[in-house]
């Protein structure tokens, strides 16, 4: 018999604080799967009306699926988090858009009727598993010139994007990065970020600094409040001599995890679950791998066309800041000012960090919080570029929307 497509909603999302990758990072002694477990447990704690037995699926993304990020994370993390063994799970990989893809994958199942409610998220422990660890790119990519060699190095693709947009100078990228840090610091000061963070117990073994034992992580480690243009001006450009991409105008190497509840709107209402966002459309698009930062543009074009909307209909933007130039290219394409107030109101990955496969849900939690505060905004989008030449965009509707600007 024919099925009707059901409305899909974002019920809730959480994340761990993001850490710096490497021996000095806060999660150096913490397993990747344990970060996912903490996020899942926090979701269940915050939503006590969700019966764990009713969860139909757990989709968890990781880019480097080996070690403690392997073994079908959706299934194993679900068991470790105490979900009933009847709840299935799987792993997913679309590099930077892993968690975003986990959300859209289970959303498709919800819309079709295969699921009523599912968990989706991602993790990346870049300290334990650097991007590219254990991979063996086929030599045909280079020998047959299928892609430019720079496609394998994300920083080089950002330099290539600067070449494509010569008006996006290093100064513009640095100015954008400073604003990201300022907005993130203000969001923390205003209590906008902490509400969706899961405190994480970590073991500290920095004996040289006299810091041993256990501690509690409650804030993002990569943030650099007080960053100035002068600070950024002198940074090295490691991907190209006299280049434009630096550690200051790009996201760093980070560790962290996210998780979200995705459900049919009917299920959410019947089970007394919050409805924070309503899914409108989503799209993925491919571009030349050597300019992967361009990907959000065609992905957004497709998502807007599916929804019957234009870019003017979008009142809030959460654009992942893998590199400042990638966000600026997106804004320039649409004629949006670098400092447009609708874009990344709480700051972005340049400040918070970008643990690859986890970041998509961070964008969603921040957009959901802004929807709650701004009922006059009807539509928002989350978008990101993806390694090896892709873009991903999801358009959301604000369930609190009221044209007069008053909460319902």
Can you read off the two tokens belonging to residue 243? 């280049």
The verdict on whether 385 is a catalytic residue reads yes
Asked if residue 291 lies in contact with residue 325, where contact means CB atoms within 8 angstroms, the answer is no
Taking the C-alpha atoms of residue 52 and residue 388, their distance in angstroms, rounded to an integer, is 37
Asked if residue 281 lies in contact with residue 158, where contact means CB atoms within 8 angstroms, the answer is no
Asked if residue 340 lies in contact with residue 331, where contact means CB atoms within 8 angstroms, the answer is yes
Q: With H, G, I as helix, E, B as strand and everything else as coil, classify residue 189.
A: helix
Residue linked to tokens 């630096």: 246
Taking the C-alpha atoms of residue 200 and residue 331, their distance in angstroms, rounded to an integer, is 35
Taking the C-alpha atoms of residue 124 and residue 357, their distance in angstroms, rounded to an integer, is 6
Taking the C-alpha atoms of residue 346 and residue 98, their distance in angstroms, rounded to an integer, is 22
Can you read off the two tokens belonging to residue 82? 């105490």
Give the bridge partners for 214, in sequence order.
203
**Which residue out of 162, 333, 354, 376 is catalytically annotated?**
354
Asked if residue 32 lies in contact with residue 93, where contact means CB atoms within 8 angstroms, the answer is no
What is the secondary structure of 294-342 as a DSSP string?
GTHHHHHHHHHHHHT--GGGEEEEEE--SBHHHHHHHHHHTT--TT-TT
Taking the C-alpha atoms of residue 400 and residue 276, their distance in angstroms, rounded to an integer, is 8
Q: Please give the C-alpha separations between residue 145 and each of 151, 261, 291, in angstroms, as whole numbers.
A: 11, 42, 15
Taking the C-alpha atoms of residue 318 and residue 316, their distance in angstroms, rounded to an integer, is 7
Asked if residue 49 lies in contact with residue 281, where contact means CB atoms within 8 angstroms, the answer is no
The verdict on whether 96 is a catalytic residue reads yes
State residue 345 phi and psi, 5-degree precision: -60, -30
**Which residue out of 28, 125, 129, 385 is catalytically annotated?**
385
**Which residue out of 28, 96, 129, 162 is catalytically annotated?**
96
The verdict on whether 129 is a catalytic residue reads no
Asked if residue 217 lies in contact with residue 19, where contact means CB atoms within 8 angstroms, the answer is yes
Asked if residue 129 lies in contact with residue 113, where contact means CB atoms within 8 angstroms, the answer is no
- Four-residue CA torsion sign, 227, 233, 236, 237: positive
Catalytic residues, which ones?
Answer: 96, 354, 385
């Amino acid at each position: 018999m024919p099925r009707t497509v059901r409305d899909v909603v974002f019920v809730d999302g959480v994340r761990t604080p993001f850490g710096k990758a490497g021996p000095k990072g806060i999660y150096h002694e913490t397993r990747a799967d344990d970060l996912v477990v903490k996020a899942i447990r926090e979701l269940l704690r915050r939503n006590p009306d969700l019966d764990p037995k009713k969860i139909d699926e757990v989709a968890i993304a990781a880019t480097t699926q080996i070690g403690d990020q392997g073994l079908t994370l959706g299934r194993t993390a679900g068991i470790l988090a105490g979900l009933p063994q009847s709840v299935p799970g799987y792993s997913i990989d679309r590099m930077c858009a892993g968690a975003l893809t986990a959300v859209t994958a289970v959303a498709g199942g919800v819309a079709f009727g295969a699921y009523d409610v599912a968990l989706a998220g991602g993790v990346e422990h870049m300290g334990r598993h650097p991007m590219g660890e254990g991979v063996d790119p086929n030599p045909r990519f280079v020998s047959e010139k299928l892609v430019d060699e720079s496609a394998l190095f994300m920083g080089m693709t950002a330099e290539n994007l600067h070449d494509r947009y010569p008006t996006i100078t290093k100064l513009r990228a640095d100015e954008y990065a400073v604003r990201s840090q300022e907005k993130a610091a203000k969001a923390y000061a205003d209590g906008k970020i902490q509400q969706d963070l899961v405190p994480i117990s970590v073991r500290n073994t920095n004996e040289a600094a006299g810091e041993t034992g256990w501690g509690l992580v409650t804030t993002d480690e990569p943030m650099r409040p007080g960053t100035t243009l002068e600070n950024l001006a002198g940074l090295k450009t490691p991907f190209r001599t006299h280049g434009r991409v630096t550690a200051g105008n790009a996201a760093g190497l980070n560790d962290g995890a996210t998780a979200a509840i995705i459900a049919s709107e009917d299920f959410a209402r019947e089970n007394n679950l919050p409805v924070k966002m309503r899914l409108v459309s989503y799209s993925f698009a491919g571009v030349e791998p050597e300019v992967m930062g361009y990907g959000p543009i065609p992905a957004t074009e497709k998502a807007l066309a599916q929804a019957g909307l234009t870019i003017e209909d979008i009142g809030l933007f959460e654009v992942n800041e893998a590199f400042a130039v990638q966000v600026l290219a997106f804004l320039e394409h649409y004629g949006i000012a670098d400092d447009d107030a609708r874009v990344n109101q709480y700051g972005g990955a340049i400040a918070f960090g970008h643990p690859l496969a986890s970041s998509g849900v961070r964008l969603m939690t921040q957009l959901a919080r802004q929807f709650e505060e701004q009922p006059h905004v009807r539509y928002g989008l989350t978008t990101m570029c993806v390694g090896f030449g892709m873009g991903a965009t999801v358009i959301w509707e604000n369930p609190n929307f009221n044209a007069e600007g008053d909460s319902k």
